[in-house]
Structure 1
Amino acid sequence: MTVVIAGPTGVGKSELAVRIAESADGEIVNFDSIQLYRRFDIGSAKPSPEVRARIPHHLFDVLDADQEFNAAEYARAARPIVDDIARRGKLPILVGGTFFYLRALLAGLPEMPARDAVLRTRLRKIVQPRLHRWLSRVDPQSGRSIAPGDRHRVERALEVWLISGRPISSWERPTNDAIAAVKIALSMDRQRLATILDERVEDMYRAGLIEETQSLLERYPESARPFSAIGYREAVAVIHGKMTTEEAMNETRRRTRAYAKRQMTWLRAERNVHWLDATDRDAAFAAALRLIEGES
């Protein structure tokens, strides 16, 4: 059995996953696309070294920022880890917020054209709003489901269309070899969550997000994918004098709230999801354990 802990950013997924792992002899497997990258710690809300020392954590700090990585590669990396955890008699607990990666792992991805470096270079020269308008014309379904600011997925969808002549949304997923999972999703009153998210943004800037970003820019090119992530893009703008810190914090708050809303929309469309109210963390933990024990 595999357990998924999902929900909008800031709702308490990581804390619940650690408590379950400690109680049910589990190990945590990350499906957050930014937490995969080394040194991108503050802006991704990566679990602290102390927390990761308590329970085995997998697929954190496994990539450098200038490495390309996509959902298919994530699934290929995560599947043997999940299988190995289960083979050792432990409970695999998938935790994160990049649900496209989660879907790739649990349900698989269609055999689509491989990445084309030359084509990607051409697409990178086009400004983001124009790229998304182009995608919306040639593949309306993907245009609706992919956020305008998610440049990596927009580029991939256009790349598949340009190479194959088919929208990425038309490719069929495999019907076998799926991973059965107990999917637990955390929810919270929207206004309460918004308050938590705003405080979280303030904490990140106070903890040194801009300084962390400055250090990362000395190692990696600004075009590296993680620099487009929420918080890092705004920190880069501050470093280049394009935003004040207050403007960056406000934009980070706005993007974080929008991201949480998209995550909830995605989860509500998923089937067989067990929803738990995260307001009372002890009650949510007890309910999650009952669900897991009921499936054992």
Structure 2
Amino acid sequence: MRLPPLLLQQCWFLAGPTAGGKSAVALELAQLLGAEILALDSMTLYRGLDLGTAKPTIADRASVPHHLLDILDPDQEFSVAEYLHVARDCCEDILGRGRVPLFVGGTGLYLRSVLRGVFEGPPADAEFRRQKEDQALRSGPDSLHAELARIDAPSAARLHPNDLRRVIRALEVHHLTGRTLSEQHEQGPRPPGERPQHVYWLSPPREVLYQRIDQRVNAMFAAGWLAEAEQLAKREPPLGPTARKALGYQELFDWFDRGRLEPLSTVIETIQTRTRQFSKRQLTWFRNLEECRSVEIRGDESPAAIAARLRDIAAG
């Protein structure tokens, strides 16, 4: 699936690493553009994952309409293709009201998929799925995951062994097409005439970014993140594989499972370290998308000043 070029070209995009300041800039930019914000984030889709995902506050949502937040329960799974379908509906609604869709977030896979499209695959093969489900019952889900790893290592690395639906789908796509799911997901960029013109990502100095990450993690715990994670850990039905792997939450859930043997301060340091590592992977995503334009920031500018700068860049 691909978003129609005429729709896509009316959208703006603001990406950047976690804690890089994009959310505050987006609020200012939305006011300048007459825009509404669509979350470009795989984890803020989930209800209840609030503090650890730095989800926009009630005040933020009151100042600028936000979309694609809190649309899933944390036990649900959601494909990139499903995200594209709901994003298209949101964009059409926003444009129909004379407003501008502004995608904001840090999930590189979602950004690439909106810009380039995503492979949806052949129709389901009911008999093949039944055989694989029987195999999972007999031999466990790890046997299917190992089979996928032999066929399509990139997909296996991306999927949890317990995410049986997606593992079976990846095997099914290879069975039906002879090509791996990861190969078919590698969509190239659109021709220049079909690309959106306003795709930016904020690039702060590394030392500024890392300091902001550490400060934000501390602020999340001060705001009650531990209690939020404790409630999620007790939830019935339990969290699905994707929500459970959310950055920071996974480390807390693992700590709960170990009986909280280490001090909380150790877990906090681990989350800070892994968040810094995650930010490096985000930067790699953005640099590798030729549609994206890097906008270097010092880290001491106001969000309003950066938003005005983006508007001026767009004006040429």
Query: What TM-score, normalized to structure 1?
Result: 0.84
* Residue of structure 1 aligned with 2:65, choices 20, 36, 56: 56
Q: Which residue of 1 aligns with 2:227?
A: 211
CA drift of 1:200 comes to 1.1
Higher gyration radius (CA): 2
Question: What is the number of equivalent residue pairs in this alignment?
Answer: 287
- Aligned residues with identical type, % of pairs: 33
CA drift of 1:57 comes to 0.5
CA distance in 2, matches of 1:194, 1:152: 32
Taking structure 1 as reference, are residues 157 and 139 closer, same or farther at Cα in structure 2, changes over 3 Å only? farther
1:78 is paired with a residue of what secondary structure?
helix
1:50 is paired with a residue of what secondary structure?
helix
1:126 is paired with a residue of what secondary structure?
helix
Letter in 1 for 2:274: R
CA distance in 2, matches of 1:196, 1:18: 19
CA distance in 2, matches of 1:284, 1:243: 44
CA distance in 2, matches of 1:31, 1:137: 32
1:239 is paired with a residue of what secondary structure?
helix
Taking structure 1 as reference, are residues 214 and 8 closer, same or farther at Cα in structure 2, changes over 3 Å only? same
Contact 1:38–1:64 at 8 Å: present in 2 too? yes
Matched, 1:270 2:289: yes
Matched, 1:139 2:139: no
2:12 is paired with a residue of what secondary structure?
strand
CA drift of 1:235 comes to 1.6
Letter in 2 for 1:38: R
Matched, 1:3 2:19: no
CA distance in 2, matches of 1:102, 1:137: 28
2:250 is paired with a residue of what secondary structure?
helix
CA distance in 1, matches of 2:148, 2:106: 24
CA distance in 1, matches of 2:140, 2:212: 35
User: C-alpha deviations, 1:229-266, integer Å up to 9, x for none?
Assistant: 11111121233325531221122112111110011001
CA drift of 1:149 comes to 7.2
Q: Which residue of 1 aligns with 2:38?
A: 29
5 Å-filtered alignment, 1:1-296, equals: 1-113=10-122, 122=136, 125-126=141-142, 137-139=150-152, 142=154, 151=160, 158-165=167-174, 166-171=179-184, 173=187, 180-219=196-235, 220-240=237-257, 241-244=259-262, 245-278=264-297, 279=299, 280-281=301-302, 282-294=304-316
CA distance in 2, matches of 1:50, 1:15: 12
CA drift of 1:222 comes to 4.2
User: C-alpha deviations, 1:72-130, integer Å up to 9, x for none?
Assistant: 00000111111221232211100111121222223221132578987589498439xx9
1:255 is paired with a residue of what secondary structure?
helix
Taking structure 1 as reference, are residues 243 and 229 closer, same or farther at Cα in structure 2, changes over 3 Å only? farther
Q: Which residue of 1 aligns with 2:3?
A: none
CA drift of 1:181 comes to 4.7
Tell me whether 23-32 or 218-227 shows the greater mean CA deviation: 218-227
Tell me whether 212-221 or 18-27 shows the greater mean CA deviation: 212-221
CA distance in 1, matches of 2:207, 2:281: 16
Structure 1, gaps ≥5 residues long: none
Taking structure 1 as reference, are residues 229 and 59 closer, same or farther at Cα in structure 2, changes over 3 Å only? same
1:47 is paired with a residue of what secondary structure?
coil
| Aligned CA-pair RMSD | 3.3
CA drift of 1:136 comes to 6.1
Taking structure 1 as reference, are residues 73 and 181 closer, same or farther at Cα in structure 2, changes over 3 Å only? farther
Letter in 1 for 2:68: L
Taking structure 1 as reference, are residues 134 and 261 closer, same or farther at Cα in structure 2, changes over 3 Å only? farther
Structure 2, gaps ≥5 residues long: 1-9
User: C-alpha deviations, 1:267-289, integer Å up to 9, x for none?
Assistant: 10111322212322454222211
